[in-house]
Structure 1
Amino acid sequence: MTRHLVLLALLATVAATSRAASPLDKVIRLSLAESYVTAILLTGGDAVRFGFWDFDPNNFIGLEDENLGSLEAQQLRQRLSTLSIPYTWSTPLGEDSNTLVLGAKAAYLGQQQETQIISSDSSAVDAIDSSITTLTLGGEVRHRFNGHVGLAAGLNVHWQRYRNRTDFNTPESQALAPLFDGLVTNYSANAWQAEPHVRVTWFVGGRDAELKLISSLHYMHGRTFDTGEAAHDVQPEAWYWSNGARWRHPFVTRILPGQNVWMQAQRYDLGGDLDGPLGNHYYYEAGIGWLLDVRKMNIPFVDNVGVGINLNYGSALRGGTLVLLFNES
């Protein structure tokens, strides 16, 4: 989604070019495809977490590591807003070692920015508001081979709606608005995506282990539909592979029933249309969280809530954030 300013600048330099120009179509299609797959990644849960307060960890630990945090990355995080409301339901499937998990989720990813699309002597700025709304249905089958190894495979199907609203407020941008509108700005586009995935979990120490090693591979592919422009005919395709560890502290649960503390660290490798939006083809996420089980309170569709700290290292969204946790797995 952050590619839009680059795209608009490119269009400005070729304002005399026909709207049907093939090179422009390719750039627009890439930007739109990246937006769809990035929305799934950023609202998927552990991949990249956003919170209610973003910060640069370098300011607290006395380092100057650009991969850990920067002012630019902090500002980018603050321009993004996310909302994800997941719900899952599980039941034994056949033997006790098999479990069927069904899930649904509504998610939103938005980005707002005020800038001059075209350099102007005017003090006015243009306003860009883009968003993707995602509705997801999916299922997963989990199998426990023994006390140490578990395998899960599933499929999620996403319906997504991309929307852009841009206010042109400088004389220069207003002059080029007819070229932009309906092609790059002020339009919406629907898409569907299928996301098969497979996950292997190693329970270190056995069935009730506090430490889990997790490897998960996701593949995404889909296409837009009911588009009015050839440049919006997109077939997004991407994959990501995460490898990491998750640890929960048994002491907290023993003295405070219904509560749990966990830590996790993961590496994410990205490919396809995810290879560009985050500024790197890999990055790291690490976090700690405190969860409260609220199922006994009979709150509809809510299993647990909590608070945590999350760190991102190596991507365009590097930095730290305080997060609210909801229906954490």
Structure 2
Amino acid sequence: MTRHLFLLALLAAVAAPSRAATPLDKVIRLSLAESYVTAILLNGGDAVRFGFWDFDPNNFIGLEDENLGSLEAQQLRQRLSTLSIPYTWSTPLGEDSNTLVLGVKAAYLGQRQETQIVSSDMSTVDAIDSSITTLTLGGEVRHRLNGYVGLAAGLNLNWQRYRNRTDFNTPESQALAPLFDGLITNYSANAWQAEPHVRATWFVGGRDAELKLISSLHYMHGRTFDTGETAHDVQPEAWYWSNSARWRHPYVTQILPGQNVWLQASRYDLGGDLDGPLGNHYYYEAGVGWLLDIRKMNIPFVDNVGIGINLNYGSALRGGTLVLLFNEE
């Protein structure tokens, strides 16, 4: 998620002797670093779920809890667009208790804002489009320690491209366009990031347990390359730690066999360049859904589909959303 701190950047530029001055560099570098690491977090699939209809849970349960939902958070969700296309391949590795999983993914995170960068008497607004495209190649080794505990360690390599396109539509903002263009607006920057991760899973009740407790730690570090501005020389670094409980219970009806009830609750702790973009250094996610196993239909790359409700508590993306579920474990 990109933060466009135009006014702060303007003050820094005016106070500095040149446009490459250190105060302005810090503003741009922080925003760019946050954009890269946030894109990896939000495109991960579980960290924050996006759906096809967003709502404020307070309106349905009679509460006024700002951490549960707000109009501002709902509008922010609606400005974001995400797309993730993953593919994984697995094979036994040595002993039966080891599995090698290889994966590739193409992902996109975009945000569109229509606002006045500089206050104007005109009703016209400026349009700011920013996006991160991510291509990922990764591998993971999974080891089943026993019937109750599974361990995993892996590494993802990410290539990312940040792109900003801004239309200055008021006389006041157009006067500032020469100062911003190529530095804060209307530019692109490439980066790579390495993302090692480890995970432990406890199968409550044994190998075929319906309840799983999962703890996963991710670390991200990288840098931009082929940049034309010193302000775009960034080394993003962040980490996040998730602790989750996941329950999946099968039930059968005469109409549609192979159905499952799916529940998940998670806490995410954030650090480094992830400490600011989501408005908090931790937040909670919870969801409930209905899954239909369609493996017998032999649809390539699809094991199950479903629909559910997801809640986010405590982050800038707090609130509820209706989600489509796909290949849930």
Both proteins in one fold, TM over 0.5:
yes
Deviation, 1:265, is 0.2
Q: Distance in 2 between matches of 1:5 and 1:245?
A: 37
Q: Distance in 1 between matches of 2:67 and 2:10?
A: 28
**Residues 42-69 of structure 1: CA distance to partner in whole angstroms, max 9, x if unpaired?**
1101100011100000011111100000
Deviation, 1:125, is 0.5
- Secondary structure of the residue aligned to 1:228 is coil
Gap regions ≥5 residues in structure 1 = none
Aligned: 1:122 with 2:135: no
**Residues 198-244 of structure 1: CA distance to partner in whole angstroms, max 9, x if unpaired?**
00011110111111111000000011111111111111000000012
Deviation, 1:106, is 1.1
Q: Distance in 2 between matches of 1:32 and 1:55?
A: 29
- Secondary structure of the residue aligned to 2:252 is helix
Judge conservation of contact 1:12–1:118 (CA < 8 Å) in 2: no
Judge conservation of contact 1:9–1:117 (CA < 8 Å) in 2: no
Deviation, 1:35, is 0.1
With over 3 angstroms needed to count, the CA separation of the structure-2 counterparts of 1:223 and 1:12, relative to structure 1, is closer
Judge conservation of contact 1:87–1:327 (CA < 8 Å) in 2: no
Q: Distance in 1 between matches of 2:18 and 2:254?
A: 68
Deviation, 1:103, is 1.1
Aligned: 1:52 with 2:57: no
Deviates more, 1:310-319 or 1:255-264: 255-264
The equivalent residue for 2:244 is: 244
**Residues 88-147 of structure 1: CA distance to partner in whole angstroms, max 9, x if unpaired?**
111111111111111111111100010000011111110000000111111111111111
- Secondary structure of the residue aligned to 2:131 is strand
Deviates more, 1:251-260 or 1:153-162: 251-260
Q: How many residues align?
A: 329
Deviates more, 1:153-162 or 1:246-255: 246-255
Deviation, 1:162, is 0.5
The equivalent residue for 1:146 is: 146
Deviates more, 1:287-296 or 1:12-21: 12-21
Deviation, 1:176, is 0.5
- Secondary structure of the residue aligned to 2:127 is strand
- Secondary structure of the residue aligned to 1:254 is coil
With over 3 angstroms needed to count, the CA separation of the structure-2 counterparts of 1:305 and 1:8, relative to structure 1, is farther
Gap regions ≥5 residues in structure 2 = none
Deviation, 1:23, is 1.0
Judge conservation of contact 2:16–2:23 (CA < 8 Å) in 1: no
Judge conservation of contact 2:79–2:111 (CA < 8 Å) in 1: yes
| Fraction of identical pairs, as percent | 92
Deviation, 1:296, is 3.1
Deviation, 1:252, is 4.6
With over 3 angstroms needed to count, the CA separation of the structure-2 counterparts of 1:109 and 1:58, relative to structure 1, is same
Deviates more, 1:17-26 or 1:278-287: 17-26
Q: Distance in 2 between matches of 1:287 and 1:312?
A: 9
With over 3 angstroms needed to count, the CA separation of the structure-2 counterparts of 1:102 and 1:255, relative to structure 1, is farther
Aligned: 1:133 with 2:120: no
Q: Distance in 2 between matches of 1:35 and 1:27?
A: 13
The equivalent residue for 1:256 is: 256
Deviation, 1:297, is 2.8
Judge conservation of contact 2:134–2:161 (CA < 8 Å) in 1: yes
With over 3 angstroms needed to count, the CA separation of the structure-2 counterparts of 1:32 and 1:320, relative to structure 1, is same
Q: Distance in 1 between matches of 2:145 and 2:172?
A: 64
With over 3 angstroms needed to count, the CA separation of the structure-2 counterparts of 1:253 and 1:17, relative to structure 1, is farther
Deviates more, 1:286-295 or 1:46-55: 286-295
- Secondary structure of the residue aligned to 1:253 is coil
Deviation, 1:304, is 2.6
**Residues 267-325 of structure 1: CA distance to partner in whole angstroms, max 9, x if unpaired?**
00000000000000000000012222333333333333221111000000000001112
The equivalent residue for 2:184 is: 184
Deviation, 1:255, is 8.9
TM-score by length of 1: 0.95
The equivalent residue for 1:161 is: 161
With over 3 angstroms needed to count, the CA separation of the structure-2 counterparts of 1:174 and 1:205, relative to structure 1, is same
Judge conservation of contact 2:2–2:32 (CA < 8 Å) in 1: no
Judge conservation of contact 1:87–1:103 (CA < 8 Å) in 2: yes
- Superposition CA RMSD, Å: 1.8
TM-score by length of 2: 0.95
Deviates more, 1:42-51 or 1:9-18: 9-18
